[in-house]
Amino acid sequence: MIWAVLLPFIMAMFIPFVDKWRERIHTGFFVTIIPILIFIYFARFLGTGFEPLTRSYSWIPSLDINMVFHLDGLSLLFVLLISGIGALVAFYSIYYLDKSEQLGHFYVYFLLFMGSMLGVVLSDNVFVLYSFWEFTSLSSFLLIGFWNFKKESRYGALKSMLITVFGGLSLLGALVFMTVLTDTTSIQEMISQKQLILNSEYFPLILALLLLGAFTKSAQFPFHIWLPDAMEAPTPVSAYLHSATMVKAGIYLVARYSPMLSSSDWFFIIVSSVGIVTLCWGSYMAVRQVDLKGILAFSTISQLGMIMAMLGFGTKVAVFAAVFHILNHATFKGSLFMVAGIVDHETGTRDIRKLGGLMTYLPITATLAIFGTFSMAGVPLPFLNGFYSKELFFDASLHLEDIANAGFIGVLKTALPYLAVFGSIFTFVYSMYFFFGTFRGKANLSELPKKPHEAPVGMLVSPIILVLGVILIGLFPGMVNEPFIAHAASAVKGLAVSKEVYFWHGFLYPPLIMSITVLVFGTVLYLSRKQWAPVYRAIPGVLSMNKVYDGLVDRLETYSSRVTKAYMNGSIGRYVRLVLAAILIVTFAFMALTGGFTVDLSNVAPLSLPEIFVAITMVIAAVSTILTNNRITAILILGVVGYGLSMLFVLFRAPDLALTQLIVETVTVALFLLVFYHLPKLRKKEEAASTRFLNLVISIGFGAMMTMVAISAHSSKFFESISSYFLENSYKLGGGDNVVNVILVDFRGLDTLFEIVVLGIAAMAIYGLIKLPGKKEDQ
């Protein structure tokens, strides 16, 4: 089974090589073989006697992260969808994409996506699942931005990336929580220990994070906004990713975890209401679109909402209908995207306002579109599979006996059938709009960039196969029912689910009445759409999530740049203030919290008169450096401080230090004089009074802080000093009486070695600075 997942990745490595022969043979032919092989491999498992099976391959055993693949009914459904529609889309793309396109890139991304999608639906290990999950986000980002010279493509790709990766990361959070709680990384084992998770105090958080991941990926309200913008991708990509596979990854996740989560009321409330809101909003917004792919994008959103709502219901009928609709939606939506691609390819535009009357020019395409759109609308005809799942959906919304009646749940339960009908009416309207707007009416050939004619046969093959699927499932629903759908539904529900699907239940069957209501109201609304079109000007304006997204991204950028600019203003003075203030606050806070400030005067030596005299001289000199306006004066006065220091060294009996300090001070003063001789006169910088006050506070505070630290350090000695060792052993071990020097060259010679290295580097740096020719404009 691992080869089935790895095959697309391996093939993706070879695509750049076979792409070299594209003049003779279109790269797409090589790609088409892969999903066909995978499809055949997995199709063998179909049948009534299907048993789940697991294959395990080591990856990181020490972290319990292994390539564990679990094939049950749900995975099988998805695997067959991914490989089957993948094959059709790959074949379709051969005729859709010209040889002048970057085919190598396209098919590499395509195969990466297919492989990671297979990985998502087959993985049993949560971390492997997450890896593949992010891989789908990445590869779909690349596919959406395939025509990266278009601004809209880049915008759409970025938007989908930001939203899906946001969801992906929350999913990771949920998966980590569950792994920690159950101490296993296997999904199946997690589900078998579901009480641990359901009773945990983190359960609301886990549910929220998991659903956030699923909702963003599956374009549920309010995260649906990336899907319409992802329509900038080439049409095969839209057909594959944004109708059949990637957008169903979130559905898959919810379905996969529903044996665990569906016993929670919150799961019912959130998933059902988000699903039903998405259904209504998506179908309402689809009617407003003027781009064929825009209509289909919102239609996908709304259909996904419907599936999500059914998974939220969690009853046997609902789960069965959800799984059934996943299959049905993939067939008719895939074919419709291909139809939209053909129309675009043959007329040069997707704008429905310019299109019309194409039936005579594109008769086969129009026929395919009839089946697709009518099945999507759920028109009660025995050869349209969309009707069955829609009727089951109505049925499910009416029969929620398992769910308690209390409070909000009760209200939601009562409202669900009405909302379902409401959403379905608009579904009907946009389906009719899609078909009649494109193919009926008067052809306006002067508006079209190309003269329309029927598409090449190769382009028609894939939609024909999909529409045949629509019709066959419509005519013989039992064919896919027992060997296929029932297994998937059982995997979602956690117990055996099977349901007979009939076309005819009698006139008084409530779901049929609902369907007929949809039909009647839908027709009326479609015919009168010009009259109520102004409604659209009022409602999406406020509720447009795009505005929220754009505003959010915009504001994040402005505010973060404003924050950065607020403290990173390039003034070194400010950075020094910030650094010192931070040190000041942290040190004071630490001292205050730990009671670190102690004064212990027992160990203080008596002051002598010369020391006091030298100290006072130094203080006076230090203060005058601040007050002087002349650089040279400041340097000379600073020299006084230095010589005073060496005096102190003498007084404290450190002859080596005194000598060194004396010479170093002299050299420094001389160097300062050498350098500053060339600098312009010191100008007093005019600073605001508040800044100067702040400077004063910080410098006084810092001085006070250092004083307090020094006093505390002196007052609290925790260990005996080690200096007695040096005094005793200086002559014995080092052979010298000058303890300072013995420490410098013998006991602690390494420090000295690197200090002279520092000096050497400084000398080299000065030489380099002065001698190397700089840029002309610097001088």
Partner 1 sequence: MTRTNDIILRTTTTLIAFILLGFSAYLFFAGHNAPGGGFIGGLMTSAAIVLMYMAYGIKSMEKILPINFRHVIPVGLLIAALTGVGGLLFDQPFLTQTFAYFQLPILGKTELATALLFDLGVYLAVVGVTMTIILTIANDRGEEEGV
* Interacting residues with partner 1 (CB under 8 A): 655-656, 659-660, 663-664, 667, 670-671, 674-675, 677-678, 734-738, 740-742, 744-746, 749-750, 752-753, 756-757, 759-760, 762-764, 766-767, 770-771
Nearer to partner 1, 595 or 768 (CB): 768
Nearer to partner 1, 582 or 670 (CB): 670
- Could you tell me the sign of the dihedral formed by the alpha carbons of 315, 318, 321, 327, in that order? negative
Write down the least CB distance from residue 598 to partner 1, Å: 36
Nearer to partner 1, 725 or 767 (CB): 767
Nearer to partner 1, 506 or 768 (CB): 768
Give bridge partners of residue 467 from the DSSP assignment: none
Nearer to partner 1, 688 or 756 (CB): 756
How far, in Å, CA of 97 to CA of 106, rounded? Answer: 10
664-698 b/e (C-beta count within 10 Å ≥ 16 → b): ebeeebeebeeeeeeeeeeeeeeeeeeeeeeeeeb
Say if residues 143 and 101 touch (Cβ distance below 8 Å).
no
Contacts of 401 (CB under 8 A, 6+ apart): 315
Nearer to partner 1, 297 or 635 (CB): 635
The three-state secondary structure class of 99 is coil
Write down the least CB distance from residue 745 to partner 1, Å: 4
Write down the least CB distance from residue 752 to partner 1, Å: 6
Nearer to partner 1, 667 or 710 (CB): 667
Nearer to partner 1, 676 or 702 (CB): 676
DSSP 149: T
Cite the DSSP H helix spans in 355-406: 363-377, 385-398
Nearer to partner 1, 84 or 639 (CB): 639
Nearer to partner 1, 572 or 674 (CB): 674
How far, in Å, CA of 501 to CA of 49, rounded? Answer: 20
∠ CA 180-185-189 to the nearest 5 degrees? Answer: 100
How far, in Å, CA of 621 to CA of 643, rounded? Answer: 11
Say if residues 139 and 109 touch (Cβ distance below 8 Å).
yes
Question: Residue 72: which region, alpha, beta or left (left: phi > 0; alpha: psi -120 to 50)?
Answer: beta
Write down the least CB distance from residue 759 to partner 1, Å: 4
How far, in Å, CA of 119 to CA of 122, rounded? Answer: 5
Write down the least CB distance from residue 775 to partner 1, Å: 17
DSSP structure string for 153-210: HHHHHHHHHHHHHHHHHHHHHHHHHHHHHHT--BHHHHHHTHHHHHTSTTHHHHHHHH
Nearer to partner 1, 626 or 727 (CB): 727
Contacts of 90 (CB under 8 A, 6+ apart): 28, 31, 32, 34, 35, 107, 110, 236
421-450 b/e (C-beta count within 10 Å ≥ 16 → b): bbbbbbbbbbbbbbbebbbeeebeeeebee
Q: How far apart are the first and last CA of the chain?
A: 70
CB atoms within 10 A of CB 181: 17
Helix (H) or strand (E) holding 592: helix 572-594
Say if residues 265 and 404 touch (Cβ distance below 8 Å).
yes
Tokens 């009534």 label which residue? 48
Nearer to partner 1, 63 or 770 (CB): 770
Pairing of strands 53-60, 65-71: antiparallel
Nearer to partner 1, 533 or 670 (CB): 670
Measured CA to CA in angstroms, residue 201 lies from 22, 125, 178, 212, 214 at distances of: 58, 24, 12, 19, 22
